[in-house]
Amino acid sequence: MRPFPDLPEGFDPASVTSGAFGHVDNSPFSAQMIAGMDRLSEAQAVVELRRWSIDSLSLHAGQRALEVGCGPGAMSLALAEAVGPTGSVNGIDNSGLMVEEARQRSADYAQVQFDTGDAQELRFGDGEFDACYSERVFQHLDAPELALKEMLRVLRPGGRVVVVDTDWETVTIDHPDAATTRKILNFVTDDFSPNGWIGRRLPGLFRDNGLRDVSVMARSLLVSEWDPATEPAAIGPPFFVVLPQAQERGVVTKHEADRWYAELEKLAREDRFFASLTMFGVCATKSP
Ligand SMILES: C[S@@+](CC[C@H](N)C(=O)[O-])C[C@H]1O[C@@H](n2cnc3c(N)ncnc32)[C@H](O)[C@@H]1O
């Protein structure tokens, strides 16, 4: 497998897990993570999910909104547009680097404040917010159920909540070796991701918490171009991390992994690459 050009000296692929997004500040790839989020912000699937989320939150001027796991803050700024200068938005993230990046990008928005904080233990009082939002964060958490309970605690009765996340078992990759593809993708879903099925679990989690007016939407990210020389990941976690770990766990042999990756690279070079991934958005109202 061709090594990713920016790998630091002595890099150990086993040191990176999907949980890396839970500890961005310790990762040698934090800059790539931010760049990846910026790229995703432009993908049609994400643009449409975010538009649906903003519409579903039904925000008005002067209201107060919270984004949990805000990353570099793109959606917090969209929430700020919705509540206007008389409203306010709090964005929290457990990464100081993300919070710093978000602060730099929000200089023109006096109504937005970014702070570090843990999704599973919010530092806000009960019922403080009119709307709460979280996108592609629950998949990285030890206890996504607790994060939802915390969002609902700080939401006022009648307030609206949206959680968006990926379901890793929805990944498709067009590859002639279906058996190896399935083994690798099942490994990503079941063993690499702490909450690989979180996308499909969200509607049930919402109902378990007594939420009403639950609505669900889904959009698929479609990837038909991939440059293996510059992009470590075509879709999902980087192959240079996933494939060695899958070998270590006995999911695939080195020969299978090398052959599978070489074929994928060949398809990409021949402009024949295609992969997809489905994300779900769930919206509901907190009962009075
Ligand atoms: C895939 S990024 C998504 C960021 C942003 N929501 C977006 O859609 O661009 C996941 C984010 O969750 C943050 N995160 C991970 N674990 C967290 C936790 N326990 N509490 C708060 N934020 C967390 C990461 O630092 C990262 O910014």
State the average pLDDT for the chain: 92
Identify the burial level of 179 via C-beta atoms within 10 angstroms of its C-beta, where 0-12 means exposed, 13-18 middle and 19 or more buried. Answer: exposed
Residue 8 has pLDDT above 80, yes or no: no
Residue ID of nearest Cα to ligand 1 atom 4: 71
Query: CB neighbours (10 Å) of residue 121?
Result: 11
Half-sphere exposure of 196 (CA within 13 A, CB side): 16
Task: Check residue 204 and report its DSSP letter.
Answer: H
Tell me the CA distances in angstroms from 84 to 17, 25, 76, 282, one per residue in order. Answer: 39, 31, 12, 24
Task: Measure 267 CA to ligand 1 centroid, in angstroms.
Answer: 32
Ligand 1 contact, 237 CB (< 6 A): no
Q: Which of 173, 171, 155, 175 is nearest to 163 (CA)?
A: 155
Query: How would residue 3 be classed by pLDDT, with cut points 50, 70 and 90?
Result: very low
CB of residue 77 inside a 6 A radius of ligand 1 = no
Give bridge partners of residue 282 from the DSSP assignment.
163, 216
- Beta carbon of 137 within 6 Å of any ligand 1 atom: yes
Q: Is the Cβ atom of 234 under 6 angstroms away from ligand 1?
A: no
Q: What is the pTM (predicted TM-score) of this model?
A: 0.93
pLDDT at 236 over 90: no
Nearest CA to ligand 1 atom 24: 21
CA of 282 to the centre of ligand 1 (A): 18
Quote the CA–CA distance of 111 and 87 in Å, as a whole number: 6
Residue by residue, DSSP assigns 131-146 as EEEEES-GGG-S-HHH
Is the Cβ atom of 24 under 6 angstroms away from ligand 1? yes
Give the total residue count for the chain. 288
Pocket test for ligand 1, best of 94, 118, 124 (most atoms within 8 A of CB): 94
Instruction: State the pLDDT confidence band at 9, using cuts at 50, 70 and 90.
Output: low
pLDDT for 153 equals 98
Q: Residue 115, Cα to own-chain centre: how many angstroms?
A: 19
Model confidence pLDDT, tens digit, residues 115-157: 999 999 999 999 999 999 999 999 999 999 999 999 999 999 9
Task: Report the separation in Å between the CA atom of 118 and the middle of ligand 1, taken as the mean of its atom positions.
Answer: 10
Query: Domains of the chain, with CATH numbers?
Result: 15-285 (3.40.50.150)
Whether the CB of 48 sits within 6 Å of ligand 1: no
Q: What is the pLDDT of residues 253-270, one digit of tens each?
A: 999 999 999 999 999 999
135, with CB counted inside 10 A (0-12, 13-18, 19+), is: buried
Please tell me the distance from the alpha carbon of residue 250 to that of residue 18, in angstroms, as a whole number.
19
Higher local confidence (pLDDT), 166 or 232? 166
CB 119 less than 6 A from any atom of ligand 1? yes
Instruction: Name the nearest CA neighbour of 216 among 282, 127, 288, 136.
Output: 282
- Write down the pLDDT at residue 207: 97
Flag whether pLDDT at 225 surpasses 70: yes
- Angstrom distances, CA of residue 142 to CA of 102, 193, 258: 24, 11, 32
Q: Is the CB of 22 under 6 A from ligand 1?
A: yes
pLDDT band at 5 (very low <50, low <70, confident <90, very high): very low
Amino acid in position 264: L
pLDDT at 7 over 90: no
Q: What percent of the chain has pLDDT over 90?
A: 80
**Residue 140 Cβ contacting ligand 1 at under 6 Å:** yes
The amino acid present at 45, given as its one-letter code, is: A
CA pseudo-torsion sign 138, 250, 186, 229? positive
pLDDT of residue 14: 56
